[in-house]
Structure 1
Amino acid sequence: MTELPKTFDPAEIESRWYSHWEANGLFAPERPGADPWTLVNPPPNVTGSLHIGHALDNTLQDILVRHARLKGKDARWVVGTDHAGIATQMVVERQLNARHQKRTDFSREEFIAKVWEWKEESGGEITQQLRRLGCSMDWANERFTMDEGFSKAVLKVFVDLYRQGLLYRDKRLVNWDPGLGTAISDLEVETTEVHGKFWHLRYPLADGSGFIEVATTRPETMLADMAVAVHPTDERYAALVGKQVKLPITGRLIPIVTDEHADPELGSGAVKITPGHDFNDFEVGKRAGFKAAEMLNMLDAKAAIAQTADGLVPGDLIGMDRFEARQRIVAMLEEDGALVRVEDRVIATPFGDRSGVVIEPWLTDQWYVDAETLARPAIEAVRSGATKIVPKSWEKTYFNWMENIQPWCVSRQLWWGHRIPAWFAPKVHSEGSTTTYQSGFTIDSSRPPELTNPNIAVAENLGDALSELSKHYAKGTEFLICDDWESYRQWFVRVLAEPEHPGRRGEQIPVVRDNDVLDTWFSSALWPFATMGWPDADVKAAGRYPNDVLISGFDILFFWDARMMMQGLHFLGEVPFKTLYLHGLVRASDGQKMSKSKGNVVNPLGLIERYGADALRFFMAAMESQGRDIKMDEKRIEGYRNFATKLWNAARFAQSNGIGASSTIEPPAADLPVNRWIVAETVATVQALDLALADLRFDEAANTIYQFVWSRFCDWYLELIKPVLQGGGGPGSFSGDEMREALGTQGPAAETRAVAGWVLDQILVMLHPFMPFITEELWSKMGPRDHELIVAKWPMADARALDPAAAQEIDWLIRLVSEIRAARTELNVPPGARLPLHVRDASAETQVRLARQDAVLARLARVDQASGDAPEGGALQIIVDEATFVLPLGGVVDLEAERARLTKAIGAAEKERDGLAGRLNNPSFVERAKPEAVEKARADHAEKAAEAERLGAALARLG
């Protein structure tokens, strides 16, 4: 046994123990024959740093994996990072900009080499921060979504889906970020309300018979309008349906069509339709018969005005920034008499979360996954219970989204990432001495290449792609591998510039690989099985698939969780995880969402420095209530630091009284009721804890162990056994000197030390998943061990150890002591005063208990048992079960002064109670006051009502 320091210092303990665990491979101990148990963490961005959401997510995961490890399972927590295409490319580009360089100064290969260099030097800071949180991850097998094995899995999935007809290239609207020059996912779009305007425009009918009025928040998009829609039942426009209007500025003739998207109650009831620049309009356009290839596009990749396919945009607008063009177009409409009026409006506007620029719906060629087909098995998996979603309330949201899922855009216009394994080559047509080359693309340097009709090969490598492409050409045809789209375009420029070329044979055929990379959600969707070595390893046979549970924030249910379901079921025929647990958000103390702009972001590393990782972890667990959002409360974290200190001091007390490490996982034999009681309480706690963790009730699990440690063990058991350890504990107990001489012998003191040591061991094991650092430190200091706590055995929940008789006696004792203490406090009895204790109507069982617990009552309640009836006069009276306990107060308390004090205090409490009740019964206050003010008034009313009742009971006790 090593003596513990007086002061609990989390920082020193945490760094020392984590290094020891990792260096000795204790996060993935060898356990041949043990049942596998696997958990994968949502891979954080390689550019990321630990935020409070990570702290919650990873704390919950660590609780489960440490619990499984203690239960004897071959528990592995797979760790890794995501290559974070956009974020990482931005970081490296900013570094280049600081050196007055830009990405395009380098070849693609040179730039990617710089990204890898950054990754090796600076990437993965968050993995060090996860260590500070105490995450027991399998670092020896850390993965990265761009490592060789993982990339192999990504390529296989892309190629297989393409060959199965489930992945294709299509022209659709995407969220286009003009600042980054790429499509982005919905998750990367932040919608913010901004002050804007609503322009009402007049579109004249082509036959000159009148006009129709429309309104828009983006007047510049009228350059690409293709229709005006009215509701099919709107009688105001019935005669106009089928007619055409002539657009101002461009003069384009567009039809008036019917569509239920037009709301007769909104504005004029007529809406302009720009299918190439609005998601709703895109669907309206398709219903109106426009093919995607026919939809007009009036913006380039930087959101500057571009010429439409019909060439009707005035030349002086071409190249103008969209917002500059907006002002010019509004002025032109006003000059033309087409501007009716302008309204000020607050408009929900999409911004890129990284670029900060306004996102444009933009019509481009991208790669898509047939998510509707892949979603069907994933829907059935949840319906059948193959995967259970916790909390169950999220199932409705899951089904609604999956049953209405749209094609999944998986391509991004970046350099960093998994480059799409697709190669293109022109179609060649030879007739006589003439050879014609069709590029297969509309190659415009201002926008991504638009697919027309190339030869295409999707393959896992260039060699396989060329073999596939060679089928389209004459035998012996040579291929020219182009580095990028520009070199491919230049080849065609050269061909067209040489007059003799169309008749010449033997020209090399240019081949270009798709410049785009895959969305990072595509690769991370393979995380549950690609991290295990698939496709080379049989992960199902190894028992590592499906994973046992996935812990995730609800905000990535569709972006990550559902896509893992789809890909796992499609490629392995089984769900990727048996249970999906969705937790809530960590909000600021006032309930607001945390954001840098609001200045209310909490740094978990700062909290760890102030209170220790154990305290932060316990707070996260205690506050996590099946998906509900958590309000940050630093005072509670401080309280859990105090909880750790209380446990530390309890261990020091144990050491000072000869209590050390237990030698058995089974409870020691016990005769004393207090020892039988604490053994039974320990077993009951194990049972409750197992049940709570099985149900993923983290708050209930944390509260269970907290109440047992603080109240049952520290506040009561250690106090109850002091008379036994220090002498005077009843028949067979030791005196102080005898105890010290007889350490280790049988008898009440020896029994109590054995039981106390065993209970403390069980506490350390049960608390370890929540507070790994302090528990490991105490485990190591309480006596010699043959293994660390992290690989100890979970306590046995043996119902045979439950002892109803002992539980009833100690419960009776605790209630009696608590009632006496509370009454003494309420009646201002001096703390040091000893009171005589008389009892009336006591049963034989109560008399036996009083005799057996005499020393405990004398110590904890400051009473001396007296015989006979209590003397006349004021007395404190308490009823516990059938007996009345009387404690005369004569000479100890001024009874009249105490009655007067209590009467006055009761009156004050009742006055405040009634005043608050009046406010709460006033509908005006409840309806108009802030919700937090109403809630506080209710809490204050309950507090004052309870105070009045308590003081009234105290007055009644005086008799």
Structure 2
Amino acid sequence: TVLVSSDVGRSKLKIDHHYSIRFRAKAGAVETKTHFPELVLGAVAVAVKASGPFGKFAGQKARHPVSGNEVPVIAVDELAADAVFLVPAHNRSDDQIARDARIRERVVVFDEKGAVSIAGYAELSLEEARRKVLEHIGADATQIAGHEAIDAHRCQRCEAVVYQRYSEQFFVNVENGAGHLRRAIETGAVQFSHTRWRERVLAHLENLEPWCISRQQWWGNKIPGHPGEVFSTWFSLAAWALQGAGWPAQPAPAPIDEVFVDPELLLRWIVPSQIVALLITGRPAFQHIIVHGRLQISERALQTRAELSPEAHDEERFLFRAVRRPMRHSLGNVVQPSTLIRRFGADALRLGYLLCVENGFQEAATAAESKLKRGRKSVHLLTAKLAGLFSMLREPWHVGEARPADKFIIAQATAAAGEARRAYEEHRYTDAAVILIEMIEAFGRYVNLISARRQAGHNLGAVTAATAAVMTRMQSAFSPICPFVFEKIGKWIVAQCANAGAEPLIEPWMDELLKQASVLRQRESIDLMQTPLAKLPKRERAEILHLTKNFLT
């Protein structure tokens, strides 16, 4: 397949051998080192370290071990190895060395599909071509054992080893618009969820290269007048962003208010989209850029303890360790959302994922099973407690006036809803999830109080009206997190609380107390006995203190 440089990253490739391939000259042989012998098919010259053992061959000709043609031997002052064969069609540094030596020949070993394109090898797989090359070279090729880690180009998505090959593509000189985006960021026209993302984008703008916008794939938006060529996904997304903002119907549309991306999309999609929009319309495509961590999972990996001898027992030599790895198809660790939904439920999955992403700057978000289970437990607690409460209310128990605990649970729901909305506005989504869980636990304790009233033979207070008020506030604030559960709860409230009566009025001191707790965040510093709570009858005071467990301390 065809990749562009932005699709490719560098990483270490562990190998246990390399090859020595000899290019023979009149005065002897130049031994070149390579890890990929099939690349010798594209060799057009041999480079030797000027001060190395083969420096004396500089300026001579050497025989190509496969084609038999003569290739020049050139001296290079700074060369990592003593001698290498140059394949400028597939290696950037080789290409630069060849250009400096005025060597213009380029032999392409791999076609656009990654298959060997040299005559006599075209029908072979990569491994077959490698074996045939080594057989052809014969005694002038030696495999040498030895473990080492080498720099390799890899596809950033599937991690396959990539050979470089140059081809004609379409480019946009986005670097010409970097100044426009820099000014938009510095003036506040473009904002980020964290200052470190702002700094990263500004640093990225200092080293922009022309943006390759073409691909040779079977899918994509076709480039007019160029069969077999399609626009890259990133360019198509940039066009989509412009269209979403209102262009071309509006020549200078207002930016889209918010966009949510991971670190990779920030640089590969958002930055060029912003530049293109600024160049075309004079305004950015997006105003607020919210960056969340890329998804990864924690796996158990079996690792060897190097300090122990091979004779040690396996249970001593091997340990299971937690390893965090990106979720990718190539690693075989992708978990389909449908699988998680079947296990945890859609709402619990959303709630659990918000617990995983955390607030602020985060390069990666770890999908932890424990947090998904916590989300599921909270959703089940809410529905179970509400169903149990409605079951109790079907019996002919006396419902009386609102008691302090009935009012306080409404005050708690009011405070939680307000705090959640502020968390949304400030992009503190983990905080919003925690607030929901705390409110669910507080409501669970309230249902326990109602059950205790019932068992003691006391009137249940204004439980129906209080429950309707609490659920209405929770539905309004937390439906974005758990839409399906609160849609169901909304229907329950309509059916079960139609005759609930007037909503109990919250006493001012309750609101004030909860606002103070929300602002301070150090809830243990609030002495509840210094509030009007101390003046309540013992039973009423005990009920409110029970409600404030884990909500106020």
Smaller-chain TM-score bracket? 0.7 to 0.9
2:165 counterpart SS class: strand
Which residue in the other structure is 2:173 paired with?
Answer: 370
Whether the 8 Å contact between 2:48 and 2:84 is mirrored in structure 1 is yes
Which amino acid is 1:362 matched to?
R
Which 5+ residue runs of structure 2 have no aligned equivalent? 300-323, 395-400, 497-507, 518-522, 547-552
| Residue 644 (1) aligns with residue 355 (2) | no
TM-score (norm 1): 0.44
What is the Cα deviation at residue 546 of structure 1? 1.3
CA distance in 2, matches of 1:281, 1:227: 10
CA RMSD across the alignment:
4.5
TM-score, L = length of structure 2: 0.73
Distance change >3 Å, CA 389–CA 353, structure 1 → 2: closer
Counterparts in 2 of 1:847 and 1:191: CA distance versus 1, 3 Å: closer
Whether the aligned pair in 2 keeps the contact of 1:202 and 1:214 (CA below 8 Å) is: yes
The counterpart of 2:289, out of the listed 559, 576, 580, is 580
Separation in 2 of the partners of 1:288 and 1:381? Answer: 45
User: CA offsets, 1:29-87, max 9 Å, x none?
Assistant: xxxxxxxxxxxxxxxxxxxxxxxxxxxxxxxxxxxxxxxxxxxxxxxxxxxxxxxxxxx
Partner of 1:246, secondary structure, is strand
Q: 1:519 aligns with which of 219, 224, 232?
A: 232
Match of 2:37 among 212, 219, 226: 219
Alpha-carbon distance in structure 1 between the residues aligned to 2:379 and 2:177: 49
Q: Does 1:769 align with 2:480?
A: yes
Call closer, same or farther: CA 1:806–1:360 in 2, change over 3 Å: closer
1:276 deviates by: 0.6
Letter in 1 for 2:169: Q
Q: How does 1:237-316 map to 2 (within 5 A)?
A: 243-249=59-65, 250-258=68-76, 262-263=79-80, 267-268=81-82, 270-289=83-102, 294-301=105-112, 306=117
Q: Does 1:613 align with 2:346?
A: yes
Q: Aligned runs of 1:384-399 on 2, under 5 Å? A: 384-395=187-198, 397-399=200-202
Letter in 2 for 1:681: Q
Bigger-Rg structure (1/2): 1
Q: How does 1:748-763 map to 2 (within 5 A)?
A: 749-750=461-462, 754-763=465-474
Q: Confirm or deny: 8 A CA contact 2:357 2:365 kept in the other structure.
A: yes
Q: Are the equivalent residues in 2 in contact too, given 1:370–1:408 (CA < 8 A)? A: yes
Q: Specify which of 300, 305, 329 is matched with residue 133 of structure 2.
A: 329
- Check the 8 A contact 1:674/1:806 in 2, yes or no: no
Q: Which amino acid aligns with 2:134?
A: V
- Call closer, same or farther: CA 1:575–1:634 in 2, change over 3 Å: same
Q: Distance in 2 between matches of 1:720 and 1:396?
A: 52
- Summarize deviations over 1:135-189 as a string: whole Å, max 9, x none: xxxxxxxxxxxxxxxxxxxxxxxxxxxxxxxxxxxxxxxxxx3xxxx45665488
Pairwise mapping of residues 468-483 of structure 1 onto structure 2 (< 5 A)?
none
Partner of 2:290, secondary structure, is strand
Secondary structure of the residue aligned to 1:587 is strand
How far residue 240 of structure 1 moved from its aligned partner, in angstroms, is 5.6
State the SS of the aligned residue for 1:757: helix
Find the aligned partners of 2:475 and 2:90 in 1 and give their Cα distance: 61
Counterpart residue number, 1:629: 364
Q: 1:769 Cα shift?
A: 0.8
Please tell me whether the aligned partners of residues 10 and 151 of structure 2 are also in contact (alpha carbons under 8 angstroms).
no
2:21 to 201, 211, 221: 201
Could you say if the C-alpha distance between residues 551 and 634 of structure 1 is closer, same or farther in structure 2, counting changes exceeding 3 Å? Answer: same
Contact 1:622 1:702 in 2 (8 A): yes
- CA distance 1:858–1:770, shift in 2 (3 Å): closer
Matched, 1:538 2:253: no
More relative contact order, 1 or 2 (CA 8 Å, 6+ apart):
1
Shift of 1:279: 3.2
Does the 8 A contact of 2:159 with 2:330 survive in 1? no
Distance 1:550 1:800, change over 3 A: farther
The equivalent residue for 2:312 is none
**Does the CA-based 8 Å contact 1:618-1:640 persist in structure 2?**
yes
Please state whether the residue corresponding to 2:192 is helix, strand or coil. strand
**Identity score, percent:** 24
Aligned to 1:562: 271
Q: Distance in 2 between matches of 1:584 and 1:222?
A: 42
Shift of 1:706: 1.2
Structure 1, residues 636-681: CA drift from partner, whole Å, max 9, x if none? 434423322322244346546779xxxxxxxxxx996545644543
Shift of 1:857: 4.2
Compared with structure 1, are the counterparts of its residues 381 and 201 closer, same or farther at alpha carbon in structure 2 (3 Å cutoff)? farther
CA 365–721 in structure 1, closer or farther in 2 if over 3 Å, else same: same
Residue 524 (structure 1) shift = 1.7
Report whether the alignment pairs 1:553 with 2:286. Answer: no
Q: Provide, for residues 743-764 of structure 1, a one-character-per-residue CA deviation record: whole Å limited to 9, x for no partner.
A: xxxxxx45x7545432331112
For 2:499, the equivalent position in structure 1 comes to none
2:444 is aligned, of 705, 714, 729, to 714
Conservation of the 8 A alpha-carbon contact between 1:679 and 1:802: no
Relative distance call for 1:709 and 1:216 in structure 2 (3 A) is same
Distance 2:57 2:431 in 1: 63
Shift, 1:551, TM fit: 1.3
From the superposition, tell whether residues 859 and 615 of structure 1 become closer, same or farther in structure 2 (CA, over 3 Å). Answer: closer
For residues 258 and 296 of structure 2, the distance between their equivalents in structure 1, rounded to whole angstroms, comes to: 25
Q: Structure 1 residues 753, 807: closer, same or farther in 2, change over 3 A? A: farther
In the other structure, the counterpart of 1:699 is: 430
Partner residue, 2:494:
783
Give, as a single letter, the amino acid of the residue that structure 2 aligns with 1:520.
T
What residue number does 1:412 align with? 215
Matched residue, 2:144? 342
Asked if structure 2 preserves the Cα contact closer than 8 Å seen for 1:378 and 1:569, the reply is yes
Determine the C-alpha separation between the residues in 2 that align with 1:625 and 1:846.
34
Structure 1: which 5+ runs fail to align?
1-176, 308-314, 423-512, 660-669, 729-734, 740-748, 786-798, 809-813, 816-842, 862-880, 882-959
Partner of 2:241: 528
Distance 1:531 1:567 in 2: 14
Shift of the alpha carbon at 1:846? Answer: 9.7
Deviation sequence 1:379-399 (CA, Å, 0-9, x none): 554455433333443445544
Residues 303 and 321 in structure 1, CA contact (< 8 A), matched pair in contact too? no
| Corresponding residue number in structure 2 for 1:138 | none
Between the aligned partners of 2:514 and 2:134, the Cα distance in structure 1 is 87
User: In 2, are the aligned partners of 1:420 and 1:517 still within 8 Å (CA)?
Assistant: yes
Aligned pair in 2 of structure 1 residues 332, 589: CA closer, same or farther (>3 Å)?
Answer: closer
Write the letter of the residue equivalent to 1:623: C
Residues 929-940 of structure 1: pairs in structure 2 closer than 5 A: none
Distance in 2, matches of 1:384 and 1:858, equals 53
Deviation of residue 683 (structure 1)? 4.1
Query: Structure 1 CA distance, aligned partners of 2:270 and 2:509?
Result: 43
Report the Cα distance in structure 2 between the residues aligned to 1:805 and 1:516, rounded to whole angstroms.
61
Distance in 1 between the 2:131 and 2:543 partners?
88
Partner amino acid, structure 1, of 2:89 = G
Distance 1:847 1:677, change over 3 A: closer
Conserved 8 A contact 1:306-1:318: yes
